Structures are given as C-alpha cells and as structure tokens.
Structure 1
C-alpha cells in the first residue's frame, strides 16, 4: 500500500533515548565536505556562526511504497513532514542568524527531488558514503540494505556541537523545539 508521505499516521512507535548521541555535545566537527543539493561542497565544520543540521533517515516519494515495516521502526516515519516544518519556519530560524541544512545518507539525486517538490529554501547535504556518519559515530539503522541515520538535530556554532536533539518525536513538531531552544539561548 502506498502511504501519504505528507501525513503522519496515528500510533507510530515513539523512539527512546538509547544513549547513542551522548558523546556529541561539545565536540568539534570533523572536516568532512558534503555534497549539497545546490551542487557545492559544504564543510559544516568550517562554517562560522550558527548552523542547524537536522538529520533524517530517508524521504518518501509520492506513489512509491516505503520499505516493508517502515511505520513499525521507532522514529523512521516523518521525514517529509519534518522537512515541511523546517521550510514553513525557515524565516523564524533566520531571525537567529542560523543556517539550516537537512542531512541524510540518501543520494544527492534523491535529495534534489525532495528540495524541488517541497520548494525547500535550504539545501540538503548527502552523506551517501557514510563518511560524516562514521566520523561522528551518529546512530544508524539498516532497512532493505540501506544504512540510514536516525533522526536527530545538531546545533553547531563555528564547528562545535553546542546542542543535540535526540530522539525526536513527533518529527513534524520538532522545529518548535529548535526555535524554543534558540530563543532561550
């Protein structure tokens, strides 16, 4: 059955904190240039100022079924609604002088389709070879042969991780947590 990728179904399992991100706050990002949907290479470690890097497993596409059992994996479902929420609150994020990037292990071509379909005002960064994921020891899971990053958000200031949101649920409301944190900072 093909699901509506824009809507979160009821009764999704809630992800639990497995401790997989406890090592991240306070560390300096490794220099790992990532291909952006703009075609340029972005090294988040070298960016000055504030960067919001929201990480998601994979985007669904209208008319294409999700992997078998996708909705049963805690935290898997919701990448498109999450991207839409960051898009819809992009101007608010800009008020904090924050760069915004989405991040996944999907190919740049898959990510480019999402940027165009959803009219995202920010780039997505591809780590299809898992270089950044492995360097930071980000939590992942595997489904249908794909290694996917678990949903988390890194707030980076001049190359240093200053805040980690993990686990994230529900993904379509997470941008509100980010905005609240930035406002009280």
Structure 2
C-alpha cells in the first residue's frame, strides 16, 4: 500500500553512497525530501539530481535534508555523486525494500522504477507525494511545500 499525505513516515535504514549505515531516525525533528528515481547516470535522473544540487542551499535554508534513493549500488552512487558534485545523501535500495515500504510504483509501462518525491515535515508526517516521470518538476513542488511548513 502506497504512503499518502498525512501518513507517518516509516522508520528505515539503508546503505549510503559511502557504504555507511544510514538511519532515518537520526534526522528526527528535521524536514526531509526523499526522492526515488530510476537509475544513476540516465538523462532524466541526472537532470533531476543536478537540479536538486543547484537548489540544495534553498532546501538547507528551509532546514530540510535531501535524500535520493535508487536501486543502484553504493559504488554507482559514489561515482554519480562525484561526477555531478551532488552534496546530498544517496541511498542504495538494491533489494527494493524502501520502494516497497513507501509503495513507490513503477512507471506507466511498468518497465522502469517510478520517480516519486516525498516531503516529510519535522514531526515525520508526509506533506507531499509527487509522482511524475517529469524530472524537473519535483524540485519546485518540494520547495513549494517546504515553504508552507
């Protein structure tokens, strides 16, 4: 079952691009933008990651942390983050545990993992679920919601 606006974000752990354990409860009390994307180094995903990078200070200015999630390996994430100088956290979800936990669907044709952005407030409540394969719109939508928190 997919998470929706008003739901409490589930607690989870994963491995980040540096091979270190990531625990979401370490970010309790802080707004989060968690975005699921299909694959490192693909055109749409690169545009989306670079747009988050270019506006990262806007997110930080609103007190939020940005977290990207795909099924790519830690090594792939490390190369992707280094190549594009991504300042935010990338989590590896090779077993698709996080996708299932959040209920992220595949794209319309079912061929690619879906692209969904969640904005979670400092109380851990989901305030935005934005599902669109259009990569650039996610950033504006997330900032718009964060400004209202």
- TM superposition score normalised by structure 1: 0.69
Match among 75, 87, 91 for residue 125 of structure 1: 91
SS in 1 for 2:147: helix
Quote the residue 1:95 is aligned against.
61
Q: Cα 1:30–1:46, aligned 2, differ >3 Å: closer, same or farther?
A: farther
Q: Which has the larger radius of gyration?
A: 1
Q: Cα 1:93–1:40, aligned 2, differ >3 Å: closer, same or farther?
A: same
> C-alpha displacement at 1:168, in angstroms?
4.7
Structure 2 gaps of 5+ residues are none
Matched, 1:161 2:126: yes
Worse overlay, 109-118 or 33-42: 33-42
SS in 2 for 1:53: strand
Could you tell me whether the CA contact under 8 Å between 1:106 and 1:128 is conserved in 2? yes
Quote the residue 1:72 is aligned against.
none
SS in 2 for 1:35: strand
Higher helix share: 2
Worse overlay, 173-182 or 123-132: 173-182
Quote the residue 2:14 is aligned against.
34
SS in 2 for 1:138: coil
Matched, 1:181 2:148: no
Could you tell me whether the CA contact under 8 Å between 1:31 and 1:46 is conserved in 2? no
Structure 1 gaps of 5+ residues are 1-19, 62-76
SS in 2 for 1:60: coil
Quote the residue 1:116 is aligned against.
82
Quote the residue 1:67 is aligned against.
none
SS in 2 for 1:26: coil
> C-alpha displacement at 1:53, in angstroms?
0.7
Which deviations, in whole Å up to 9, do the C-alpha atoms of 1:119-144 show, x marking residues without a partner? Answer: 1111101111111112222212554x
**Coordinate RMSD, CA, aligned:** 2.2
- Give the number of aligned pairs: 145
